[in-house]
Amino acid sequence: MQHGSTDRPWWERGVIYQIYPRSFQDSDGDGIGDLAGIEARLDHVATLGVDAIWLSPVFPSPMADFGYDVADYCGIDPMFGDLAAFDRLLAAVHARGLKLLLDFVPNHSSDRHPWFQQSRSSRDDPRRDWYIWRDPAPGGGPPNNWISDFGGPAWEHDAATGQYFLHTFLKEQPDLNWRDPDLRAAMMAAMRFWFDRGVDGFRIDVLWHIVKARGLPDNPVNPDWHPGLNARDQVIQTFSTDQPEAHAIAADMRALADSFGDRALVGEIFLPNDRHARWFGKPDRPEVHLPFNFQLIENAWDAAVLARVIGDYDASIPAHGWPNWVFGSHDAPRIAARIGEAQARLAAVLLLTLRGTPTLFQGDEIGIGEVAIPPDRVRDPQEIRQPGIGLGRDRSRTPMPWDASAHAGFSSAEPWLPLNADWSTRNVTAQEADAGSMLHLYRSLLALRRANATLSIGDFALVEADTGVLAYERRSGAERLLVALNLGGEPRPLRLPAGAVVAETLASTLPLRTIDGMLAPDEGLILRLTEAD
């Protein structure tokens, strides 16, 4: 697939940086980050070299699931500020040449949302069908066997009206009914509210969940489930996710975004490649610009596995689609915790040199690793409901360490979650002063990507490599770049494509050295190739 032109939309050429607002910067001394804090730290984001910011939810919320339970889709929670503070932040983001994406949560609202309060007030309320209500099963009990993604039945009985309501996540997060045209119109109006305000797009939470199969049949039982796995996976979510009707909704969202010009939609979608690719839509009826691709998170850090995963995913992208990649998020274990700091440097090279749009999670640029969360500091409802099986998300949401002052410069008060244990030395200021730091590596890679379109929109091809080495070429016109990553702890031969020689080393995860035909342990290289004489 040819992608040689630099005249491409920003969401293809650019890099997205996710900010978890509670944990970026506190401006008012309550130990929780806020919009003014983000504004105060924008220069860090701008000098990093990314192109867009994605904010996790900042809407009014009781915070049962830390903002993913929305009580008002057109406001700002007082914890974070107000609409004026948002407008100031948006202006400051745009003044630095950056874009801003909000996190839209269409599958469910908070049970405190006025819509749900009205819906549950009576079976006859006009907004009853804005949520999914059903009578008990024959003989009593939940209407079907669906299981919440946080464990336990996905149904909650409402004594006042005698029916159950559906909640894919917490019972405080009732699912919205997108089959109701009035609900659908209200949610589209909420998106329009933020587009009118100037936001550059949305990351759309659990998009593949938003429509359920008619009749709500039982999901198939998963024969491979056993205790110790996520309780959600006791059933296969055949009828509760990825329904055909959801694509028309995604297409309508895309049409709305496109009506505002240069906007972008990123859809959270966990599906196999063939089903995942459908969320690009069709050329004449496109859906989300970037169906989020989590395969670098979900698969082992192994050269052969990654080569297969990357090749299969790249091949699955339709001609009108565009790939994307992510290693970390507010939900996933940190990459440095998974594979160690030395290999996390290679992960930075991989993320920023694959064909497609990368998303970088705050703190990964300084290599934050494992953060121990004492039992009395656990805040994540998923960990509280299913403790001890590795589902906790607090470890990824810890505050950003800025310097070695009290509370790492994040707040004047005790932060809402613990800092990384090495915050006094692993912080932005310390890494600013260290030319060999992870921060400087990310900045150099992002600058190289920005200066060289081959790394952002050039063609991609895996190349044959030694055991434990992942290697691929990026090409644009006569330019040939080789990325070679030694994912192992032993030296490995560096194989060049036939007829090629190294013209220049553009970047390395280790101190630059003369290329000698070998890759050192933990070494990743970006090389410019030329034809041999």
Q: Indicate which residue of 205, 364, 473, 523 is catalytic.
A: 205
Q: Residue 21 corresponds to which amino acid?
A: P
Nearest Cα neighbor of 275 from 247, 240, 253, 299 is: 247
Q: What are phi and psi of 113, to 5 degrees?
A: -60, 135
Following DSSP, what letter does each residue of 257-323 receive, concatenated? HHHTSS-EEEE-----HHHHHGGGEETTEE--SEE---HHHHS-S-HHHHHHHHHHHHHHS-TT---
Indicate the helix (H) or strand (E) that contains 246: helix 246-259
Alpha-carbon distance 213 to 278, whole Å? 18
Q: What are phi and psi of 75, to 5 degrees?
A: -145, 180
User: What domains does the chain contain, in order, with CATH numbers?
Assistant: 10-109+181-446 (3.20.20.80), 114-166 (3.90.400.10), 459-531 (2.60.40.1180)
Alpha-carbon distance 323 to 472, whole Å? 16
Q: Is 34 a catalytic residue?
A: no
Q: At 493, is the secondary structure helix, strand, or coil? A: strand
pLDDT in the model for residue 532: 85
Using alpha carbons only, what angle is made at residue 498 by residues 496 and 502, rounded to the nearest 5 degrees?
A: 40
pLDDT in the model for residue 6: 56
Q: For each successive 10 residues of the chain (533 residues), what is the average pLDDT? A: 62 98 98 98 98 98 98 98 98 98 98 98 98 97 97 97 98 98 98 98 98 98 94 96 98 98 97 97 98 96 98 97 97 96 98 98 98 95 92 96 98 98 98 98 98 96 97 96 97 95 97 94 98 85
Alpha-carbon distance 294 to 299, whole Å? 9
Q: Is 268 a catalytic residue?
A: yes
Spell out the residues 6+ positions from residue 300 whose beta carbon is closer than 8 angstroms to its own: none
Q: Is residue 463 a contact partner of residue 471, using CB atoms and an 8 Å limit?
A: yes
Alpha-carbon distance 285 to 287, whole Å? 7
How does DSSP classify residue 176? B
Query: Which residue matches tokens 């992510």?
Result: 326
What is the pTM for the complete model shown?
Answer: 0.97
- Quickly count: other Cβ atoms within 10 Å of residue 227's Cβ: 7
Using alpha carbons only, what angle is made at residue 324 by residues 323 and 330, rounded to the nearest 5 degrees?
A: 160
Q: Indicate which residue of 77, 268, 314, 523 is catalytic.
A: 268
Alpha-carbon distance 151 to 17, whole Å? 30
Start-to-end CA distance of the chain, whole Å, equals 29
Q: Residue 362 corresponds to which amino acid?
A: Q
Alpha-carbon distance 406 to 412, whole Å? 7
